[in-house]
Amino acid sequence: MSQNVKVVQRASSSVRDKLYLPAIYDGMKITFKHFFKNLSDINAVDVLRYPEEQPQDITDRYRGLHRLTHRPDDSIACVACFMCATACPSNCMFIEAQEREDGHDEKMPKSFSIDTLECIFCGYCVEACPCDAIRMDTGIFSLTGNKREDFVLDKEQLLANKGAFGEVCSCARD
């Protein structure tokens, strides 16, 4: 048993370390160096000044705000199958179906809204959709509004959101 015990030498055993004050001095030197360097030229601090400077490095896998895709003839790609709403873990999708009259399919959504205050941006809806009708590739990362209702995106808004990384139409349908 005892041969497995490893005795580790304490790192700070010199008098200088035990006094503690020199160590404080060393630390203060670093603190002061950063402080005065940044104070003398505040614009050189390497940060993103957010509202004025927008992030330039959003990848196409970034899960931004949702959008509903179109078919090549500009009609809605969604067939109101409720797969996304079923997969949604936070139950924040509200879909109403209606009969479809443009000759493509049987159904289309009469209303389609997402409460983004409840949405956790997990992307399950995108995975669940069988016809690539909902996507989160808008690149929109900031969502602002003045009242709660502003955060419930309805069908028109979702259709109006543009994809940010090419791929305009739904790949699954034509």
Partner 1 sequence: MSTASIIVAISSFALGTLLALMTIPVLVWLERRTAGLVQDRLGPNRTNIFGFRLGGVVQSFADVVKLVLKEEYYPSHIKSGKWLFMLAPIITFVAALLAFMVIPFADTLIIGDEHLRVQPLPIDFGVFWYLAVSSIGVIGVIFGGWLSHNKYSLLGAARAASMVVSYELPLGLSILAFIITYDTVDFNAMVTSQSELLFGFLPAWGIFMQPIASIILIITLFAETNRNPFTVAEGESEIVAGFMTEYSAMKFAMYFMAEYIAMNTASAVIITMIFGGYQLPYISTQMMLDNFTTLAICVMIAAPIVVTLFIKWMQKNNRVRPGMAQDKGREFETKFFTIAFIVMTIAIEFILLYLAFFSENLLAQSIYVTVIQIATFVVKLMIFNMFFILIRWTLPRFRYDQVQKLGWYYLLPLALLNIFVTALVVVGVSL
User: Residue 125, interface with ligand SF4 (CB under 6 A)?
Assistant: yes
Q: How far is the CB of 57 from ligand SF4 (least distance, A)?
A: 22
User: Which of 58, 70, 75, 92: binder of ligand SF4 (CB under 6 A)?
Assistant: 92
User: Which of 65, 134, 153, 158: binder of ligand SF4 (CB under 6 A)?
Assistant: 134
Place of tokens 């304490």: 10
Quick check: 125 and 87 in contact, CB under 8 A?
yes
Burial class (CB in 10 A: 0-12, 13-18, 19+), 35: exposed
User: Residue 153, interface with ligand SF4 (CB under 6 A)?
Assistant: no
Helices (H), the chain: 15-19, 21-40, 83-87, 124-128, 155-160
Q: How far is the CB of 64 from partner 1 (least distance, A)?
A: 23
Place of tokens 């400077």: 53
Query: Applying CB under 8 A, which part among 35-43, 98-106, 132-140, 156-164 lies near partner 1?
Result: 35-43
Q: Which residues are documented as binding site? A: 78, 81, 84, 88, 119, 122, 125, 129
